[in-house]
Amino acid sequence: MPPRRTPRPSREVTELIDRRDQLESSFFDRMEENRERYALAEEIEQDNEITERIRDRRLASINAKIEATEDEMNDYKDEIDRINATLAAMGHRVEPFENVIDRQC
């Protein structure tokens, strides 16, 4: 018996998967950016050579960037979840994004 061919996914499915891959990549890039910002904030917290005013100003700036990045990450996650729901409704198996995050961390 000849080997079974797996049918090619439709263009719509391919586009959804490509978009999801882009979003996942962007999500993990932003996660890494925030890891670096958290490390920098920790260094600033422990820096005894700067004044409290300078420390507060630097931390406020870093925290604002962290918050903006987390908002962006939440937007990516929401879109990934919508794409996964669409793919599942079309009969495709999808892994929940939380599992992907857990594997990367």
Q: Where are the domains of the chain?
A: 32-104
CA angle 40, 70, 37 (to 5 degrees): 5
Q: What is the C-alpha to C-alpha distance for residues 100 and 97, in angstroms, rounded to an integer?
A: 5
Token pair, residue 62, equals 């870093």
Residue 69 pLDDT greater than 90, yes or no: yes
pTM of the predicted model, to two decimals?
0.86
DSSP secondary structure code for residue 95 in this structure: -
Long-range residue pairs from 53-58, CB within 8 A, at least 24 positions apart, any chain: none
Who has greater pLDDT, 98 or 8? Answer: 98
Tell me if residue 6 falls in helix, strand or coil: coil
Residue 8 pLDDT greater than 70, yes or no: yes
Q: How confident is the model at residue 3 (pLDDT cuts 50, 70, 90)?
A: low
